[in-house]
Amino acid sequence: MWTADFIRYFVARTISMFGDAMLTVAAALAIGQVYGATGVGLVLAAWMLPMLGFILFGGVFADRFGARPLMLGADLVRVVAQVVVAVAFFTGTPSMPLLIVCSAVSGAAAAMFQPGVNGLVPLVSNDPQRANATIRTAVAFAEMLGPAAAGVLFAVFGAGPVYAVDAATFAISAICLATLRTGPVRRRASSPIRDLIEGWHEFRARSWIWSVILVWVAYGIFLFGPLIPLGAVLVSEDLGASAYAWMQSALGAGTVCGGLAALRLRPQRPLAAGAVAMFGFVLLPLAIATHVTLPWLLAAAWINGVVWAFWSIQWQTSVQTLVPPAMLNRMTSYEVLGSTGSVPIGQALAGPVAGVTGGERVLGASVVVGVLGCAALLLIPAVRTLRRAPEPVPSGAPQPAER
C-alpha cells in the first residue's frame, strides 16, 4: 500500500487535517480575544455557509476536471487566505470584514477540496479499506495535536504565527498533491447543471446511500449537533474544564483504536456491522446526561471514538468501491451536504431548548434518536444486506483456473 503516491496523499490529508484542527482553535482564541464570542460565531459561520453552499459544485467540478487539481487549487487558495490573516495580525488588529471575507474564501475552498477526498483514495491505493483505516488513524492524531499546537503557539507567540503555521500546512498539502500521478482525466462535454442533476439521479438510485444520509440528517439535529455545546457545559460544570479536555483526549484515543481495528476487521456486510457498532456511540451522551464519574465518562468517550472511526471507515470504503468512479466525487458532495448540513441546526437549537427543558433531557433525547437511527439502518434491506466489494487480487498472485 505504501507506494509513493499513497505516501504523498497520506501526508497531504494528515497535514491538511492538522491545519483544520488548528484553525478552529486559532479562531476561538485569536478572534475571541479581539471581538468576543459574537465575532467567533460570525467568522465560523462565514466559513460554514460557503462550504455548504458550494459543496455540490465541488463534486461536479471534481468529476469534470479531476479531484487532484481541484484539491490542489483549494489548498493554494487557503494558503493565500491564511497568509492575509497572519499578516493582518502581525501588523495590528485585523478588521472584522477582513476576517469574515478570508473565512468565507477558506470555506468556499474547502467545498472544492472535500468531494475529492473520497475520489482520490481508489486512485492511490488498491486496498481502499486499509488506506482509509490508515488515514483515519493518522487524522485522529492530527485532530488531537492540532488544537494543542495552536494553543501553545498562541500563548507563546500570539495569533500571527498560528495563522502562518496554518498556511504552511496547506502549502505542504499542496506540494504533495502537485506531485501525485493519478492519470489523465476524461473531460465531460455536458454542462455543470446537467452534471449536478445527473449526480442527483444517481444519488437517488442508490437507496443504501440516501437512507444513511437521511438518518444522518436526523443525527445532525438531535445527536451530533447538541453533543458538543451541551457536553462542554455539563461536563465542565460537573467535573471541571480539565475533565472535558480529558474526555476529548479519550475520544481521540478511541478514534485511533477504531482505525487500527478497521485495518484487520473486514466484515462482509460493512454497513450492517457499522450500524451495530454505532449503538455504542450513544454511551457518551448518556454518560454526560446521567452525570457519571470521570472514569466512566472517559470509558464512554473512548468507546464513542472507536465506533465512530469503525463506522466511518466502513462507510467510506463502501462508497469508494461501490459507486462508479465517474460519479464518486458528486456522490461525495451530496453525502457531505446531507450529513453535515444539519449539524449547525442542532448546535443552534441545543442552547435554547436546553434552557427550557434542561441539557440532560436534550441529551436523553439524543440517546433515543441514536438508538432509533441504528435500528432503522438495520431494518433497511438495502443497508443491512449491502456486501463489500470483492477484495483486490494482489499483483503476482495465482489466478483461478478457467473451467
Q: What is the predicted pLDDT for the residue at 166?
A: 87
- CB contact at 8 A, 264 and 388: no
Element (DSSP H or E) covering residue 386: none
Higher pLDDT, 36 or 49: 49
Residues across the chain: 403
Which of 118, 116, 147, 130 has its CA nearest to residue 264?
130
pTM: 0.77
- Is the pLDDT higher at 229 or at 220? 220
97-146 pLDDT per residue, tens: 999 999 899 989 988 888 888 778 888 888 888 888 888 888 888 877 87
Measured distance CA(181)–CA(242) in Å, rounded: 45
Judged against a pLDDT cut of 70, whether residue 185 lies above it is answered with no
pLDDT tens, 3-12? 888 888 889 8
Q: Return the pLDDT at 188.
A: 57
Does residue 395 carry a pLDDT above 50? no
Radius of gyration of the chain (CA): 21
Name the grid cell of 229. 455545546
Q: Is the pLDDT of residue 377 over 90?
A: yes
pLDDT at residue 147, as a whole number: 74
- Average confidence (pLDDT) over 56-79: 87
Q: At what angle do helices 96-113 and 67-91 cross, to 10 degrees?
A: 160
Give 239-277 pLDDT, tens digit per residue: 876 787 688 778 888 888 988 888 888 889 999 999 999
Task: Establish how many alpha carbons lie within 13 A of residue 285's alpha carbon, considering only the half-sphere containing its beta carbon.
Answer: 27
**Domains of the chain, each with CATH number or no CATH:** 1-181 (1.20.1250.20), 192-389 (1.20.1250.20)
- Backbone φ, ψ for residue 358 (5° rounding): 100, 140
